[in-house]
A and B are shown apart, each in its own frame.
Chain A
């Protein structure tokens, strides 16, 4: 660690040095192996990419206000939505919760001093940054127009845009996912504190385990499919070239073998986050803990067997369609178990409407909406009618943006006092949460409607009848933009002016709260030992409001 210590160390503090004070040079951050600092590096970089993808989609929504296309050519429009898709899926959503919240919280949650391979963890961030910088290159070199799905033969033979750099960017970021997945799995297997049995693992820990499994097993298939596209583009090796007997549909199979599980890579961590938040803000044990775990595992496993439902119109055999449709309905079962169990957790709880809870409640509603419309699309006849329409667009945004981003924000607010040691402005945060929920619905409910009426995706010139829906949707997008910018402002403000949070401001259970905020480098002052199951809120009651709190350092042995 660097020798530089900030001269203004607060005098009254006899507590151990927090991870934030272990060196203040840029190098002490760029060469750190501390999982908490790497989490912050990730958080900063994915925020940059989130807003990059956001600005692009802002332009797209602006363009769509007029049915005739008023400031973009069709070519520019194709590039705009492609860049939005690539950035948001791979550079924001996939790493969002695991690499930031997971990196920060997971080791603390299981009572570990760090992840299993700290240097690999840092490497994964560098891979992410290298992959991401390729995307910047793609942007500068004129963009890519294939859509985020890279379907051949367009991507392999016809597109005149930067397909290869975009694919390389995604490929490299894929390695960062795999590194994170391997690291988390080894951490959870081998670094759990004494007494932290598998069924005492908090649900967020379980969700990280399952998502790591999916990352490790799905990402390489994406890597291979992109590599094959690159081989065809660069060297003319005919893999998907139908003129010599290649099959473009094979690419779709490979691509969706990754990209459907990728949806679960995005949503499983979200499920983990809201499980923690619901328990804490309802002051109740999570209802049906064991079933929540089995549901996560089942989603992870069955999620690998449903990719064909993206290809109902691609010429699959009716039998394959039938099987994929059936399996897609099956995934709804564990998802519904989770929704019912969250609801049962809330039932007769002492619910507090702090910002993390508002975000989590938003997640619950939107995830349910997204899940139910997913059942529409799992059914072959309806899917055939709505394929490539705004109904599909609205469906997956409801899961990925409504669900994952809501949960990501819930997690950011919930663990913010732990990460920074400070409180944010509660009312501003509540306002942002409500704005986000309303803005989201204003954006995507019109898209459901126009999709159902037949508006196809990826067109910027459309019949006049859809204009009203597009205008409403664009208005909602503006509202969402406000809801995303607000947290930047009040969270930024809280970094410098926020009140000291105390070690456990929510009176939450969970090992990560039984240590100072912000935590010391080695996470715990005493090696933790776990003696009971997670979420023992019934013993604590509604202790949050009593406001008396003993700093962790004085509590002696940490339970």
Chain B
């Protein structure tokens, strides 16, 4: 199978081991990512425990409709990603390409929704600074964290969409075969970004709506 031999990279003796390495490497990287977000969530937890009331007031100004639509979009994208991974393992090239395309599209739809939400936030001046409308002062802490948390998540998602599009192109042009080790890493990363959102959703949108 010359198709498969192109997928094999130095220094690996066979594709099985290489696939294992890509998965393992990605998990190690995600361990790092978990700590990255953990620092942020930990800061959120500390500040929320100090300023319970302010966080409740501030969080009630988030736009839960946008947040809910985005949750649905992202969860669906994880579904299409899983199908893409299975299809790649079964060497169903067209199915893999279709599902990857759908995943990237759902991710992009998330970003668009997020953009609309940001616009609504900006119209309400929900940016910490001189014109910040909410009281007490600690509500600015929540909104500071809001912009950082969602911003960093959006950057991760953008990177994910970029990677999916690159991989899609490589598969399409048959530069690398679908059943190589690539899909493994891409899929794990995508699910991670999705998982981060599952933690963000209640922290941002539900904190002020109990």
Contact = CB atoms under 8 A, between A and B. Distances in A.
A117 B35 CA distance: 22
A112 B11 contact: yes
A503 interface: no
B28 A220 contact: no
A154 B41 CA distance: 24
A224 B140 CA distance: 19
A113 interface: yes
Contacts, number: 113
Interface core residue of A181, A189, A224 (most chain B CB under 10 Å): A224
A361 interface: no
B25 A225 contact: no
Interface in A184-205: 185-186, 189-191
B20 interface: yes
B36 A223 contact: yes
Contact of A186 (B21, B47, B138, B141): B21
Interface in A119-160: 120
B42 to A, nearest CB: 8
A228 B43 contact: yes
Contacts of A244: 128, 137-138, 140-141
Contact of A182 (B32, B37, B42): B32
Contacts of A220: 32-33, 35-36, 39
Contacts of A236: 128-129
Nearest to B138: A245
Contacts of B144: 231-232, 237-239
Interface stretch (A211-219, A404-412, A454-462, A477-485): A211-219
A246 interface: yes
Interface string B47-64: 100110010000000000
Contacts of B137: 243-245
B10 A33 contact: yes
Q: Which of A218, A231, A237, A250 has the most CB of B within 10 A?
A: A237
Nearest to A225: B39
Contacts of B140: 238, 244
Interface in A283-315: none
A237 B147 contact: yes
B148 A113 contact: no
A254 interface: yes
Given A113-B10, A118-B11, A182-B28, A221 B39 contact: yes
B4 interface: no
A246 B141 contact: yes
B57 to A, nearest CB: 13
Contact of B32 (A178, A189, A227): A178
B147 A185 contact: no
B46 interface: yes
B24 A247 contact: no
A27 to B, nearest CB: 19
A374 to B, nearest CB: 25
**A interface secondary structure, majority:** helix
B32 A250 contact: no
Contact of B148 (A185, A189, A217, A231): A231
Contacts of A189: 24
Interface in A90-119: 112-118
Contacts of A221: 35-36, 38-39
Contact of B46 (A112, A225, A250): A250
Given A190-B20, A238-B128, A239-B148, A114 B10 contact: yes
Contact of B29 (A115, A178, A228, A243): A178
A216 B31 contact: yes
B17 interface: yes
Nearest to A119: B9
A250 B43 contact: yes
A235 interface: yes
Given A113-B10, A113-B11, A254-B39, A239 B147 contact: no
A183 interface: yes
Nearest to A33: B10
B128 A245 contact: no
Contact of A114 (B11, B24, B37, B50): B11
Interface in A507-548: none
A283 B39 CA distance: 47
Nearest to A112: B11
Contacts of A264: none
A217 B145 contact: no
B90 interface: no
A114 B11 CA distance: 6
Nearest to B148: A231
A257 interface: yes
B141 A245 contact: yes
A309 B44 CA distance: 23
Contacts of B42: 254
12 contacts: A113-B10, A114-B11, A115-B11, A185-B28, A216-B28, A216-B29, A217-B32, A221-B35, A227-B152, A237-B145, A244-B138, A245-B137
A-B pairs with the 9 shortest C-beta distances? A220-B36, A237-B144, A245-B138, A224-B39, A114-B11, A244-B137, A113-B11, A220-B35, A182-B28
Interface of A: 33, 112-118, 120, 178, 181-183, 185-186, 189-191, 216-221, 223-225, 227-228, 231-232, 235-239, 243-247, 250, 254, 257
